[in-house]
Every structure is written in structure tokens, then in C-alpha cells.
Amino acid sequence: MIYPKANQPRLKLLKHTRTYILIMPRGNRKASLSTRLAAIPKRGIVPQAEIPGSEEWSRLRAPAKLNTDFSESFFENYTHEERQHYLKYCIPRTVKTGATATNEVLIDNINRWVDGNGWQYIEGGEYDGSWVNPQYPNRIFEGNSMTLPITGDVSETVEFPVSSHEDDPIGLACHFRVSCAGTKREVLPNRWTEYDSTRRGRKQRRSNERKARRQMRGEAYAEANKIQNAEKRENAIAELKSKFHMEDVKRERAKMGIDEDA
């Protein structure tokens, strides 16, 4: 063993070998923890943004997200033309109780929806607070209202017509749907939705198509297996496999938008 000065690298001979290894110093262990901490330069007041877990630190690192009070699912069943037309008069699908922000935008959207569908408000008289529409002559619809906080202690009330689907076959009015034990309230349009145009309807249609395709192919294979001649039977089954494979390829290419001539 070669003993150098303190805090200096030293060489150590491995036992039963002629190999030396270099051992580096491990620092001054004489200084206590408090002494080493005291030697660290002081920074003064640390900004909130540099303190992990603080409100400012969390705000700067929070991922950007859309306002969850307004959802595009309101238009999930609309065609492109309908979406472009109703985009000016859209109603956000969800209104969360207790929300104190962004309600002004919600009120403006409801008002645009009502005005865009030609509703007229009755003020005063026996039918005060009701609504009429030129597309429903000689009919009066019940009105409803929501009072939402805008900023601080300031609130604003929005009024709109409500009706059931039976009384509003065209789908111009709105209705409420309450869920989650009354903590969530949705304002939905009385728009009749074709089942096949919904996500569930499209999934069901694809499932029915797959079942029919499997049944048709199973029957074709069953007929091919009835051939007595082994060679002809194998050729028939091979032709069916090739045919069905080509059908699958064409279907997948059509899904990807690839032209057949490409």
C-alpha cells in the first residue's frame, strides 16, 4: 500500500496480484453537515415559480387544455353543411353547476341559437315569458331561464324555449337533462338523430356487416368442402381464400382513401 498525503489519490495493490488500482479521495469528512450547509451561498427569497408544488410552479407546468364546459360532442351527428350553418348558433353541450367563469360565452351562444332559429319572446300579458316561432303557427312554447354568475357577485339571466321532442318535431327548441345526482345539467337541442348516424349506430352497422361477411364466407367454404375429389376441393378452397383476401385488401384500401387505379 502506498500512503500519499491526505485527500490525494493513492494506489492500492490488489491481493495476490500485481495489479494496482487508483483510489480517489472521498472528500473532507471532518466537516459536519451544518458546516457544509452554512458554506452554501444564500439566495435570499426564492420566487414562487421555483418552489416545486407551489401554485405558480404548478400553473407554469400545467398542460394546455380546452375549456371542458364547451364540447364539440353537441355537433357529433351533424353533417359538414349543418355544422357550418349551426356553428354560429351553437349551444355548449354541458353546463356545470357552480362554475363561475366563462358563463358569459355560454349565455351569448344560447342567445345566438335562439335568434338563429327565429324564436320570438312574449313579454307581458297572459303568456309572459313564453315563446313563439313562425314555423309553428298558432302555438306557444314554454320558456325557461338560467341565472349564471359572470364575474364576482354579478350574475346574468338567459331565457330560451323548452319543449319535448313530441311537441317540437322540427327540433328548434331545447330541453334539460340532469345527471350525476343533480350536479351536472345539460342543455340539449330537440334534434332528431338518426341512429345509423351516431357512433353507436355506425359500430352496430359495421358489426352487422362483419357478421354477414363471415356467414357468407362460411357457407362458401362449407360448399367447397363437399367436393369429393380431394384435388378439386383443395383448388376450390384456395380460390376462395384468394378471392376473400382480395376483397379484404380492396376494403382496407377504400378505408384509407386509396384509388383502385393507384
pLDDT values of the chain reduced to their tens digit, one per residue, 262 residues = 445 455 555 666 666 666 666 555 555 556 677 777 777 777 777 787 787 878 887 777 765 443 434 444 555 666 767 766 666 555 555 444 445 556 777 788 788 888 888 899 998 888 888 999 999 988 999 998 888 887 777 888 888 999 888 888 888 888 888 888 877 877 777 777 778 888 888 999 999 999 999 999 999 999 999 999 999 999 999 999 999 999 999 988 888 888 766 5
Residues 70/87, Cβ–Cβ less than 8 Å: no
* Predicted pLDDT of residue 68: 39
* Predicted pLDDT of residue 207: 93
* Predicted pLDDT of residue 10: 62
* Predicted pLDDT of residue 234: 92
Q: Which of 254, 259, 84, 74 is nearest to 171 (CA)?
A: 74
User: What is the pTM (predicted TM-score) of this model?
Assistant: 0.41
* Predicted pLDDT of residue 66: 39
* Predicted pLDDT of residue 84: 64
Handedness of CA 227, 229, 234, 235 (dihedral sign): negative
Residues 179/170, Cβ–Cβ less than 8 Å: no
* Predicted pLDDT of residue 17: 62
